[in-house]
Structure 1
Amino acid sequence: MSTKRLGFSLWSEEDISDALELWGNPEVTKFITSNGKMSEKQVCERLKKEIETYTNANVQYFPLYLVETNKNIGCCGLRPYDPKNNIWEMGIHLKQQYWGKGFAKEASSAIIEYAFNTLGVNALFAGHNPKNTASAGLLKKLGFVYTHDEFYSPTGLNHPSYLMTKETYTTKQVK
């Protein structure tokens, strides 16, 4: 999968340096963990979890690379959320130097298209730390609709949570 500027790949154990650069940065993790930091061990566990998610569900938060330079800029993808109802969770984590350049919207749009058109999901779920206003704005721009607050154990907070249904996605594409 790719976009004009981004290529998607699969995490492997050899990607530990990219994972450490991403999830080892407190500016990146300040909204995704309770203390805002991930130790090297926690980053290794997160990488292992992404690899296992792909093995078990054929999705993960796929590593993102700049097409032009092959430089890793973060990850964006899916994971199971409510398999019984064919609802998947979408998420994105970008390295700080790539914030504010439109990469989050570009990558997320590609994942949304992949989820609905290739995987045939019924809906996508997404949530964000209540202090992360950039993520809130991104989800709204993408067409997600706020549904409720949901407790997220890694932060210990209730996160604003959103849904994009197949109908919402289809209607948005027609416009």
Structure 2
Amino acid sequence: MMLETERLILRPLTLADAETAFYGWTGDEEVAKYVSWLPHRTIDDTMAWLKEIEWKHEDDARVPRDNYIWGFVLKETGELFGSGGLIWEEDYQLYQVGYNIKKSHWNRGYTTEAMKAILDFAATDLGIRKVAGGHAKENLASAKVLEKLGFTYDRDDVTAHVDGVRFFESREYFLNLDA
């Protein structure tokens, strides 16, 4: 399932994207600084992640699954520079938005543009009415993305990294979608 915006094409990621993703954002410690996953140490880590999400892009996007992840591609150049989508959050019983892009593409509005398309897909194609979002308190850029998308602040929280050892202070938001 591909999505399109004015400047971007959102497409499923494949194993062929491993090197681009690893050197672009999944292996970048600065990109991963404010997220719950740990930076990938090797391309094999990125390949394992891609295998995990690859099957989730079957022909019928309406089949419920726990993640809907797209690669973000610039229309003008064809460059893959990030990824994002909807991740099932068991604690909330809702999908949560998530996104990561290469540092060289920060502060250009690409993430907001991509996520608007994904939220439209969530409401229109999947019938989702409410989604969650969150960011590390220090990650002001992510706060701006959520605010531009119309998310409403709910509360402060503490988020665990996937290793279960490290934690960071976070801010949690919700967005009601109108289909």
| TM-score, scaled to structure 2 | 0.80
1:13 and 2:15 equivalent?
yes
How much does 1:152 deviate? 2.5
Q: Which residue identity lines up with residue 32 of structure 1 in the other structure? A: V
Map of 2:70 onto structure 1: 62
Instruction: Report if aligned partners of 2:73, 2:82 keep a CA contact under 8 Å in 1.
Output: yes
1:131 and 2:138 equivalent?
yes
After superposition, give the CA deviation of every residue in 1:19-41 in whole Å (9 maximum; x if it has no partner). Answer: 2022111221121258x743114
CA distance in 1 between counterparts of 2:28 and 2:168 reads 21
Structure 1: stretches of 5+ with no match in the other structure: 171-175
Sequence identity percentage = 25
- Between Structure 1 and Structure 2, the one with more helix by share is 1
How much does 1:126 deviate? 0.8
Map of 2:29 onto structure 1: 26
Q: Which residue identity lines up with residue 78 of structure 2 in the other structure? A: N
Instruction: Report if aligned partners of 2:66, 2:88 keep a CA contact under 8 Å in 1.
Output: no
Structure 2: stretches of 5+ with no match in the other structure: 59-63
- The 5 A counterparts of 1:1-175 are 1-21=3-23, 22-33=25-36, 37-40=39-42, 41-51=44-54, 53-54=56-57, 57=65, 59-82=67-90, 87-154=94-161, 155-166=166-177, 169=178
How much does 1:88 deviate? 1.2
How many residue pairs match? The answer is 166
Two-structure CA RMSD over aligned residues (Å): 2.5
How much does 1:165 deviate? 1.2
SS in 2 for 1:30: helix
Moved over 6 A (4+): none
Instruction: Report if aligned partners of 2:71, 2:83 keep a CA contact under 8 Å in 1.
Output: yes
Q: Which residue identity lines up with residue 170 of structure 2 in the other structure? A: H
Instruction: Report if aligned partners of 2:89, 2:96 keep a CA contact under 8 Å in 1.
Output: yes
Tell me which moved more, 118-127 or 42-51: 42-51
SS in 2 for 1:162: strand
| TM-score, scaled to structure 1 | 0.82
